[in-house]
């Protein structure tokens, strides 16, 4: 589709958003931020899209904020507004999209690039992938939701260690820490990533979306609140065509054919 700093390809129920500034390790400039927001809105609205993949062109996933742009800012530049209008919207679009979003981490994910990978529902990684909370190297604190996602994924001590050391965490260590779902040989990443995406795109999309909504709410709920919210959302899931199809398929001893409805 019509983008310059990203690519968006939709096929077989899967939208692939490729961050596409490989010469800068897909660092985010204003255009890439704007286009990523647009692509996430578009794919979120498109009922034909049942899974979204975010990956990077070349040898990186994303090196975060383009630091060349930072150097050119005036004194009146508001970083808070920059975050609200950019990374915060990207992270919110990913985490509230009621369909699975998979990060295909093909290489280094640093700074806001790391935050965006962590905001996705699943992370499928190349063995060459790595994660760097690079912010403190440039005198900043973690942003793009990293203070929230990373502390929940790996716990405070490891999250704080990553933040203050800005050390590179290998894909294997990320797997052992519970930051990522699978690490695969580098050459096989595109194939395995798309196998995950196509499988999820054939699933009960409404239930997948409601699961995401329920789990996010549960992260800040009491058990009693989570039980009640599950009941409310199950009421919605239980009225979908995919629920009827799943039950029928079980009783007829066949594979279900979910349509995402």
Contact residues for ligand T3D (CB under 6 A)?
Answer: 24-25, 27, 63-68, 70, 79, 82, 108, 110-112, 132, 134-135, 137-138, 140, 143
Measured from the CB atom, the residue of 159 and 197 that comes closer to ligand T3D is 159
H-only helix segments in the chain = 30-45, 67-71, 79-85, 87-96, 112-119, 146-154, 156-165, 171-176, 189-201, 205-218, 223-237, 241-251
**Residues with Cβ < 8 Å from 218, sequence gap 6 or more?**
226, 229
Assign residue 260 a region (left: φ > 0; alpha: ψ between -120 and 50; beta: otherwise).
left
Provide the minimum distance between the beta carbon of 42 and ligand T3D in the complex, in angstroms, as a whole number.
Answer: 24
Measured from the CB atom, the residue of 104 and 209 that comes closer to ligand T3D is 104
Cα dist. 232→130, 212, 224, 225, 242 in Å? Answer: 39, 14, 13, 11, 17
How many Cα atoms are found within 13 Å in the side-chain-facing hemisphere of 36?
A: 30
- The whole-angstrom separation of Cα 161 and Cα 249 is 48
Measured from the CB atom, the residue of 50 and 128 that comes closer to ligand T3D is 128
Burial category of 164 from C-beta neighbours within 10 Å (exposed 0-12, middle 13-18, buried 19 and up): exposed
Provide the minimum distance between the beta carbon of 203 and ligand T3D in the complex, in angstroms, as a whole number.
Answer: 33
Closest C-alpha among 160, 105, 112 to residue 135: 112
Provide the minimum distance between the beta carbon of 35 and ligand T3D in the complex, in angstroms, as a whole number.
Answer: 17
Measured from the CB atom, the residue of 142 and 209 that comes closer to ligand T3D is 142
Provide the minimum distance between the beta carbon of 224 and ligand T3D in the complex, in angstroms, as a whole number.
Answer: 38
Provide the minimum distance between the beta carbon of 232 and ligand T3D in the complex, in angstroms, as a whole number.
Answer: 37
Measured from the CB atom, the residue of 63 and 97 that comes closer to ligand T3D is 63
Measured from the CB atom, the residue of 140 and 236 that comes closer to ligand T3D is 140
16 three-state secondary structure: strand
Provide the minimum distance between the beta carbon of 143 and ligand T3D in the complex, in angstroms, as a whole number.
Answer: 5
- The whole-angstrom separation of Cα 14 and Cα 92 is 20
Measured from the CB atom, the residue of 94 and 132 that comes closer to ligand T3D is 132
Provide the minimum distance between the beta carbon of 180 and ligand T3D in the complex, in angstroms, as a whole number.
Answer: 17
């Amino acid at each position: 589709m019509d983008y310059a700093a990203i690519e968006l390809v939709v096929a077989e129920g899967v939208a692939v958003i490729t961050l596409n500034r490989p010469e800068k390790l897909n660092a985010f400039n204003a255009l890439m931020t704007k286009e990523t927001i647009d692509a996430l809105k578009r794919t979120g609205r498109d009922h034909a899209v049942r899974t979204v993949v975010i990956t990077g062109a070349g040898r990186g996933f994303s090196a975060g904020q383009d630091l060349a742009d930072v150097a050119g800012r005036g004194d009146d530049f508001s970083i808070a507004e920059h975050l609200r209008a950019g990374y915060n919207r990207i992270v919110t679009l990913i985490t509230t999209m009621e369909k699975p979003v998979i990060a295909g981490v093909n290489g280094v994910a640093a700074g806001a690039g790391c935050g965006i990978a962590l905001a996705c529902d699943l992370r499928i990684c190349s063995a060459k992938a790595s994660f760097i909370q690079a912010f403190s190297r440039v005198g900043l604190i973690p942003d793009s939701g990293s203070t929230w996602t990373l502390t929940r994924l790996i716990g405070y001590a490891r999250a704080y260690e990553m933040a203050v050391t800005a050390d590179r965490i290998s894909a294997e260590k990320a797997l052992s820490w519970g930051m990522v779902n699978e690490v695969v040989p580098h050459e096989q990443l595109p194939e395995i990533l798309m196998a995950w995406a196509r499988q999820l795109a054939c699933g009960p999309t409404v239930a997948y979306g409601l699961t995401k909504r329920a789990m996010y709410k549960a992260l800040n709920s009491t058990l009693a609140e989570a039980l009640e919210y599950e009941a409310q959302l199950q009421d919605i899931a239980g009225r979908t065509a995919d629920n009827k199809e799943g039950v029928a398929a079980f009783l007829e001893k066949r594979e279900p054919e979910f349509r995402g409805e």
